[in-house]
A and B are shown apart, each in its own frame.
Chain A
Amino acid sequence: MKEQVALQVDHVSKSYGDFRAVDNVSFEVNRGEIFAMLGPNGAGKSTTIRMILDIMKPDTGTIRVFGAPINDASKDRIGYLPEERGLYKGVKVIDVMTYLGTLKGMSHRNAHDRAMEMLERLDLQDNANSKVSELSKGMGQKVQFAVTVLHEPDLVIIDEPFSGLDPVNTMTIKQLILDMREKGTAIIMSTHQMQQVEEMADRLLMINRGKQALYGSVNDVRRQYALHAVIVDGEGNWEGLPGVVQVENAPNERDSKLLHLAENVSTNDLLASIAATPGTNITRFEEAVPSLNDIFIRVVGERVLSTGDVERVEMERV
């Protein structure tokens, strides 16, 4: 039986001494979705992941995996790729994989066969009997990924899956992740590569300074940060168009213009005006939805600013 909701994190907090590493965070991850966990270094992502994996206990709040508190059986259904990679160095690749597979409840034979299959898929079949220490960095990363998904887990938690991989290997791993989603696996991906999140993730959670900053579908989040504006390429007297209140160069774009619209004017109205205005030529017309990268920088930047304000206020009081 596969549960629709793979993971429920409910009002979870965790402090280290006076430091609140995770502060009242709640989210859900469904089967068959790629869930991105974002946030700057030290935001509390790793702590959250460790609490999900039962390496640490939350101070308050509850975590349910496959509908129940984590137990030995549900641990066997989780695959985890930590950010800090490591395998037994002096041991053969196939032996490490088989051992770690059996620890996840697979039979020895089953683990061995699956490991060979994964190695073939990753084009590493010739390295099955190499020692781990003989692998290149990229090969090691791929083996580690293979170990993570060897037992075909229903919930996969991967931390920076693409770090250290060249574009070809990135493609291979990406395809594996997408295939897993296709099969109904719930995937939590923690990464700083916003491009990958935009391309792959269905929903996201952004944590900043231990607090939940953004949570929702990738498209909703982007729309939430969308300006009431349009990006256009082409020629024309943009200032003269009805409903345009301000024109500026679009950020991070070479020749594009950002047209801010009056509140009562929709993008359709603007498009109509452009079509009706002679001498106006457009090669691009796009709603000004910011990239996740921009949103990330804005969210993190805002928070730093606001925390700074709070500190200043407190100092004045003292």
Chain B
Amino acid sequence: MNKVWLVIKREYLYNLRRPAFLFAALGTPIFFIAIFVLSIVITSETQRDVADLTQVGYVDNAGVLNAGMMLEDYPDLFSAYPDETAARAALDDGTVDGYAVIAENYMQSGVVNLYSYDGLPENMRSVVDQLITLNLTQGVELGLPQNLVLDSLEMTVQLGEGGRELNDEALIGLIIFPLIFAIVFVMATQFTSGFLMSGLVDERTNRIMEVLVTSVTPGQLLTGKLIGLFLLGLTQLTIWVGAGLAVSLLGRDVEILSGVILTPDMVIFGLIYFVLGYLLVASVMAGIGAIVNSEQESRQMAFFITFPLFVPYFFLVQFLLEPNDTIPVVLSLIPFTAPMSMMMRLGVTTVPAWQIAASIGLLLLTTVVFTWGSIKVFRWGLLLYGKKLRPREILAVLRGNPYAYSDPVIETTGQAVKETSR
């Protein structure tokens, strides 16, 4: 156990200081923060407020402003023009900064066109909306609070029987969490298991493996590596999530994130799927790392392993609209696609308990089988230099009879190969 701990420590600390890790772990958030800050700076420079404007004209073809009410905040801002030509003339000679043309069929279409030379502030549209609403409601004397009329699109969605109750902001949040999980899962898994694989290839090509396995068992070595790099992945996640929070606090749009619902069951399932999914991918990567002979080769093979992880993305729409349809259900049961699929489904629907149990059960079983298999392949493969294992040989290794298909050359030099095969 002590040796596993030593390997964990070494793998964690060594990879933590690697430029590739620092670049990805720190560089990625720095890059996004930089873009974010830049966009804030740029927009704040160009951003103007309606209050900065001197005059805005309007042409009321629908007669919705006939009540003649003015907004309390902007009592003198708006001035009426009989037609578009007059308004255009006022714009050309600088009397107004811009003008709004309310379409004749506004009551049906709600169309208001805004015209200006320099562009109008972002909130211009909502101010015009408010002006129209004020005039319309004032005329009818509904006696309702204004904001209720304005926010008439507020809605509540109930998920299944006793499911989560959500408003529209939460709906966004509910899609965001599974998406964030999916992205983070794939990135962290790929990244750390990639480290695991390249580390193994490195140790084999550097021939340090032979010394290592006389100190620790292949099982200890692999366990230590899996855990050490898992912790590295967690570190990376922490940095990213921390940076993400910092960015959202920096920006003023925290409202979007406030909709993100982190219920305990989502967190628990997220952790279960992350750990198992990582172990599954990493153990496969370790197996690959133990039999290929170059980084390049390992990358090619790794592509085929990580490809299934992305498959649920192709069915994103299905997941959001029909989360209990055949494809999402099947994908959430297949171990390689299960973590991402199930998390997306858990976010948008109530998943039957048996499906969750079956999904986790299958994933656990596959993970155990693959970890066991990779230790076997690993044990055999780490001593083979410059020799490619063919598929049938890998099968032979798994069956515990690795020598059946192997040439005797594995432990001899080139000279001896000639001798023994003669």
Binding site for B on A (CB under 8 A): 15-17, 19, 21, 40-43, 46-47, 50, 53-55, 72, 75-76, 78, 80, 82, 84-89, 91, 99-100, 102-104, 147
Contacts and interface: CB of A to CB of B under 8 A. Distances in A.
B76 interface: no
B14 A47 contact: no
B406 A17 contact: yes
B405 interface: yes
Contacts, number: 88
A87 B208 contact: yes
Interface string B403-419: 11111101111011101
Contact of B412 (A41, A50, A87, A99): A41
Interface string B1-31: 0010011001000100000000000000000
Given A16-B407, A86-B206, A42 B211 contact: no
Interface residues on B, range: 35 or more
20 contacts: A17-B406, A40-B416, A40-B419, A41-B415, A42-B419, A43-B416, A50-B383, A53-B213, A72-B3, A72-B217, A75-B214, A78-B214, A84-B207, A86-B209, A86-B211, A87-B206, A100-B215, A102-B6, A103-B7, A147-B211
A42 B413 contact: yes
Nearest to B10: A99
A19 B10 contact: no
A46 B412 contact: yes
A86 to B, nearest CB: 3
Contact of A16 (B14, B410, B419): B410
A41 B413 contact: yes
A189 to B, nearest CB: 16
B81 interface: no
A40 B417 CA distance: 12
Interface of B: 3, 6-7, 10, 14, 202-203, 206-217, 383, 385, 403-408, 410-413, 415-417, 419-420
A53 B211 CA distance: 10
B420 A42 contact: yes
From B202, B404, B408, B417, residue with most partner A Cβ within 10 Å: B408
Contacts of B413: 41-42
B412 A16 contact: no
A53 B419 contact: no
Given A86-B207, A103-B3, A17 B385 contact: no
A17 B420 CA distance: 13
A103 B411 contact: no
A91 B406 CA distance: 34
Given A43-B416, A72-B3, A103-B212, 5 more contacts: A41-B415, A41-B416, A87-B206, A99-B6, A102-B6
Contacts of A53: 213-214
B408 A19 contact: yes
Among B202, B207, B410, the one with the most A-chain Cβ atoms within 10 Å of its Cβ is B207
